[in-house]
């Protein structure tokens, strides 16, 4: 029950694996996909950890949208260019090709319309980067299979009835979304529970079983 | 209102309009200010205060724009009321707008009555106060005049422009009119256009002034009268719009003022009545009734998008300015939806924008009050902008 009392923006994964430098591993993977100096929009930027990492390590011109007021105000007080807004409704206001990269980090599963959000991301940015928890991971499958209950893990601690996460998917499911949304997969990385990338040439079923999280870099299909 | 009997020294107020306790720049006849109304104002003058020191590169200047009933006395004792500056919590040494780091300039706006030319100033052609012969002015005119002041001071580019309410309108106009001169902008609790409801409130205030027989068709200086009752009523009505239902309830509730029972008269039985009367009375001590008419009108006319084919985003197309827009949850004069419209336009224009909404029950006036979250946001935003501008962190 301790978990339930945690703030919603703990969705930024306080429990997540970190590098020796203290940066969240999944964010480092995302940052590595961004070329230095790019113009970046981070959708669902939380307390601004990724924007800060991107500014410090890649020198990007970063902007953010965040739903929670506390998150926004914390970001703005840090000097980050962040606005209060909702990925589901406010991406429509951005013009085409406004950014080099639009990033959706650990937020896809909390959107009401993941497909619409992804389509907007690919319209606003030349490229999109999406990271999400893989619901096909074996531990999650085991929980459903053996316990017959909705799964809960360190990174996804919520009970089903008060979870902000309403659209979980597996790596395979996400590949299907990319097809229907007109996205070309440029790069993909799956991370094991300790934050280490899985073998690059492994088949998709292997990633889908052993990857706890996935990070995809996408572009528009020509 | 029987006790509205404060000695109103008309002469001393007129002196403040022509010969203020501030720095003054005189613009001569050959430097006219071209007004939106189609006429040129010349000669004219601008009164302003400064705080801190301009660095040698002239890159650390912040222009503070005051609101409707504010003035240039941001962070010093007011020469007429003897009260402390209106934004001393925000501007000063170690404050979010840190005068040990930044050079702060606050001019009295065009049309006001604290030393910048306005209807209470002497019309050089007649030797009498302008009164209603003063040309109608707009927010854009105010900003044009401020730009002339900055030219005079030798400041090409402002590190930031900050202000709330009517001050926020000036901030937005600055960013639209002179994008290359504005490195960062802090429009607080404002809008790109005055709503019908706000115009309506202003009209009630103006009618209250004009209904006072002492207004004398605007020629009260000549008549030796002063429409203090009308102006006080205007202020009382307006003041309600600066607060919120919740704040009034928290501060006053239905409590009686210095009595246990109602007097069954029209005395100020309730604390809230007493408070409003005090607001009205203290306002007329320091403000000119005609200035109130002109400045409320300027706000009513403000519609930034109208200058850009009705498309607000065009006002900020390719703007290099970094923006920090702030609204307050209980502000019903300039609600968050107004700020959101600004943010949408800025995003559409590709601007670098931050936007925060602060939870408070203090209403529109929250931007003037002790709001730690606002202070943290302003400080953080300016720090970030200062880093981008290469301003040193340590005071000179």
Predicted confidence (pLDDT) per residue in B184-195, tens digit: 999 999 999 999
Across the interface, of B356, B373, B384, the residue whose CB is closest to A79 is B384
Q: Is A178 helix (H, G, I), strand (E, B) or coil?
A: helix
Confidence tier at B14 by pLDDT (50, 70, 90): low
Residue closest to B106 by CA, chosen among B194, B23, B201, B5:
B23
Q: Are A116 and A122 in contact (CB under 8 A)?
A: no
Q: Is A187 helix (H, G, I), strand (E, B) or coil?
A: strand
Find all residues with CB under 8 Å of A199, minimum gap 6, and list them.
A206
Confidence tier at B3 by pLDDT (50, 70, 90): very low
pLDDT score recorded for residue A17: 81
Q: Which residues of A touch B374 (CB under 8 A)?
A: none
Give the mean pLDDT of B364-392: 95
pLDDT score recorded for residue B13: 66
Please report whether residue B1 resides in a domain. no
pLDDT score recorded for residue B71: 97
Buried-state track A61-87, b at ≥16 Cβ within 10 A, e below 16:
bbbbbbbbeebbbbbbbbbbbbbbbeb
pLDDT score recorded for residue A21: 80
- Read off the CATH number of the domain in which B250 is found: 3.40.50.1820
Q: Are B50 and B41 in contact (CB under 8 A)?
A: no
Q: Which residues of B touch A63 (CB under 8 A)?
A: 352-353
**Contact flag B355-A78 (C-beta cutoff 8 Å):** no
Q: How far is A35 from chain B (nearest CA, A)?
A: 19
Q: Which residues of A touch B357 (CB under 8 A)?
A: 69, 72, 84
Q: Testing the interface with B: which of A43, A81, A120 to mutate, by most B Cβ within 10 A?
A: A81
Give the mean pLDDT of B373-388: 94
**Contact flag A73-B373 (C-beta cutoff 8 Å):** yes
What is the number of domains present in chain B? 1
What is the model's pTM?
0.91
Closest residue in A to B388 (Cα) is A79
pLDDT at B212 > cutoff 60: yes
> CA A94 to CA B150: how far, in whole Å?
34
**Contact flag A83-B381 (C-beta cutoff 8 Å):** no
Confidence tier at B15 by pLDDT (50, 70, 90): confident
With 0-12 / 13-18 / 19 or more C-beta atoms within 10 angstroms meaning exposed / middle / buried, residue A96 is: exposed
Q: Between vectors from CA B9 to CA B6 and to CA B10, what angle results, nearest 5°?
A: 125
Total H helices, total E strands in chain B = 12, 14
Across the interface, of B322, B357, B358, the residue whose CB is closest to A81 is B322
Across the interface, of A61, A69, A78, the residue whose CB is closest to B380 is A78
Q: Are B66 and B163 in contact (CB under 8 A)?
A: yes
Q: Are B270 and B254 in contact (CB under 8 A)?
A: yes
**Contact flag A69-B359 (C-beta cutoff 8 Å):** yes
Dihedral sign, Cα of residue A54, residue A59, residue A60, residue A62? positive
Q: Testing the interface with A: which of B347, B358, B359 to mutate, by most A Cβ within 10 A?
A: B347
> Are β-strands B97-98 and B128-129 bridged in parallel, bridged antiparallel, or unpaired?
unpaired
How many other CB atoms sit within 10 Å of the CB of residue B101? 24
Across the interface, of B344, B356, B384, the residue whose CB is closest to A84 is B356
Query: Dihedrals φ, ψ of B297, to 5°?
Result: -65, -45
Mean pLDDT, consecutive 10-residue stretches, chain A (222 aa), reads 33 66 90 96 96 95 93 91 93 92 96 97 97 94 93 87 93 96 95 88 91 96 82
Task: Write the pLDDT tens digit of every residue in B82-128.
Answer: 999 999 999 999 999 999 999 999 999 999 999 999 999 999 999 99
Buried-state track B146-174, b at ≥16 Cβ within 10 A, e below 16:
bbbbbeebebeebbbbbbbbbbbbbbbbb
Please report whether residue B3 resides in a domain. no
Give the mean pLDDT of B354-375: 95
Q: Testing the interface with B: which of A84, A89, A95 to mutate, by most B Cβ within 10 A?
A: A84
Q: Which residues of A touch B379 (CB under 8 A)?
A: 77
**Contact flag B348-A95 (C-beta cutoff 8 Å):** yes
Structure tokens at B123: 């019309």
Please report whether residue B395 resides in a domain. no
Q: Between vectors from CA B206 to CA B204 and to CA B212, what angle results, nearest 5°?
A: 105
Find all residues with CB under 8 Å of A128, minimum gap 6, and list them.
A101, A102, A103, A104, A118, A121, A122, A183, A217, A218, A219
> Are β-strands B322-328 and B352-358 bridged in parallel, bridged antiparallel, or unpaired?
parallel
Give the mean pLDDT of B34-60: 97
Across the interface, of A72, A73, A93, the residue whose CB is closest to B348 is A93
Q: Which residues of A touch B343 (CB under 8 A)?
A: 83, 85
pLDDT score recorded for residue B396: 44
Across the interface, of A63, A77, A81, the residue whose CB is closest to B376 is A77
Please report whether residue B309 resides in a domain. yes
Please report whether residue B4 resides in a domain. no
Interface ipTM above 0.85: no
Please report whether residue B2 resides in a domain. no
Bridge-partner residues for A183, per DSSP? A220
Q: Which residues of B touch A77 (CB under 8 A)?
A: 376-377, 379-381
Residues of B identified as active-site: 165, 331, 364
Q: Which residues of A touch B344 (CB under 8 A)?
A: 93
> CA A41 to CA A98: how far, in whole Å?
9
- In terms of residue numbers, what domain contains B225? 10-389
Q: How far is A193 from chain B (nearest CA, A)?
A: 35
Residue closest to B360 by CA, chosen among A74, A5, A48, A69:
A69
The residue with tokens 């999944």 is: A26
Please report whether residue B31 resides in a domain. yes
Q: Tally the residues of chain B.
A: 396
Structure tokens at B153: 């001071």
> Are β-strands A125-133 and A213-220 bridged in parallel, bridged antiparallel, or unpaired?
antiparallel
Bridge-partner residues for A169, per DSSP? A134
Please report whether residue B257 resides in a domain. yes
**Contact flag B357-A69 (C-beta cutoff 8 Å):** yes
Q: Between vectors from CA A218 to CA A216 and to CA A222, what angle results, nearest 5°?
A: 155
> CA A12 to CA A106: how far, in whole Å?
7
Bridge-partner residues for A129, per DSSP? A103, A217
Residues on chain A bordering chain B, Cβ-to-Cβ distance under 8 angstroms: 61, 63, 69, 72-73, 75-85, 93-95, 98
**Contact flag B344-A76 (C-beta cutoff 8 Å):** no
Is domain A2-11+18-220 annotated with CATH 2.60.40.1250? Answer: no
């Amino acid at each position: 029950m301790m978990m339930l009392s945690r703030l919603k923006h703990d969705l930024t994964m306080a429990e997540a694996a970190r590098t020796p430098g203290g940066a969240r591993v999944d964010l480092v993977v995302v940052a590595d996909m961004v070329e230095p100096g790019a113009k970046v929009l981070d959708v669902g930027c939380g307390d601004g950890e990724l924007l800060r990492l991107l500014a410090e390590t890649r020198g990007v011109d970063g902007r953010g949208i965040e739903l929670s007021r506390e998150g926004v105000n914390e970001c703005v007080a840090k000097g980050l260019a962040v606005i209060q807004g909702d990925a589901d409704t406010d991406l429509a206001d951005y013009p085409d090709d406004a950014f080099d990269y639009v990033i959706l980090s650990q937020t896809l599963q909390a959107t009401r319309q993941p497909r619409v959000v992804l389509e907007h991301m690919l319209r606003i940015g030349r490229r999109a980067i999406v990271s999400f928890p893989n619901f096909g991971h074996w531990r999650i499958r085991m929980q459903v299979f053996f316990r017959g209950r909705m799964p809960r893990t360190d990174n996804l601690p919520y009970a089903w009835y008060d979870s902000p996460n309403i659209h979980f998917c597996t790596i395979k499911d996400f590949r299907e979304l990319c097809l229907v949304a007109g996205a070309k997969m440029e790069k993909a990385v799956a991370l094991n529970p300790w934050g280490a990338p899985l073998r690059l040439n492994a088949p998709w079923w292997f990633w889908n079983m052993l990857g706890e999280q996935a990070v995809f870099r996408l572009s528009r299909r020509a | 209102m029987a006790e509205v009997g404060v000695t109103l020294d008309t002469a001393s107020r007129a002196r403040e309009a022509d010969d203020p306790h501030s720095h003054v720049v005189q613009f001569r006849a050959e430097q006219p200010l071209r007004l939106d109304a189609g006429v040129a104002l010349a000669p004219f003058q601008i009164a302003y205060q400064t705080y801190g020191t301009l660095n040698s590169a002239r890159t650390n200047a912040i222009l503070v724009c005051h609101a409707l009933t504010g003035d240039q006395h941001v962070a010093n004792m007011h020469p007429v009321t003897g009260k402390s500056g209106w934004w001393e919590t925000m501007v000063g040494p170690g404050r979010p707008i840190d005068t040990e780091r930044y050079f702060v300039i606050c001019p009295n706006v065009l049309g006001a009555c604290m030393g910048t030319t306005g209807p209470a100033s002497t019309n050089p052609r007649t030797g009498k106060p302008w009164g209603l012969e003063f040309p109608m002015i707009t927010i854009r005119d105010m900003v044009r005049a401020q730009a002339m002041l900055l030219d005079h001071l030798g400041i090409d580019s402002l590190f930031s422009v900050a202000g709330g309410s009517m001050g926020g309108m000036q901030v937005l106009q600055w960013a639209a009119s002179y994008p290359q001169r504005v490195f960062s902008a802090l429009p607080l609790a404002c809008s790109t256009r005055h709503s019908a409801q706000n115009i309506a409130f202003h009209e009630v205030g103006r009618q209250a002034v004009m209904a006072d027989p002492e207004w004398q068709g605007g020629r009260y200086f000549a008549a030796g009268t002063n429409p203090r009752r009308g102006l006080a009523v205007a202020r009382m009505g307006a003041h309600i719009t600066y607060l919120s239902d919740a704040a009034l309830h928290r501060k006053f509730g239905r409590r009686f003022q210095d009595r246990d029972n109602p007097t069954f008269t029209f005395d100020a039985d309730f604390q809230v009545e007493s408070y409003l009367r005090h607001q009205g009375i203290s306002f007329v001590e320091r403000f000119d009734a005609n200035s109130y008419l002109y400045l409320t009108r300027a706000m009513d006319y403000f519609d930034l998008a109208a200058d850009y084919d009705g498309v607000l985003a065009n006002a900020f197309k390719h703007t290099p300015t970094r923006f920090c827009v702030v609204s307050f949850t209980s502000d019903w004069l300039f609600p968050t939806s107004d700020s959101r419209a600004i943010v949408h336009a800025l995003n559409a224009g590709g601007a670098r924008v931050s936007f925060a909404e602060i939870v408070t029950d203090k209403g529109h006036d929250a931007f003037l009050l002790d709001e730690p979250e606002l202070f943290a946001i302003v400080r953080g935003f300016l720090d970030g902008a200062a880093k981008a501008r290469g301003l040193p962190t340590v005071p000179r």
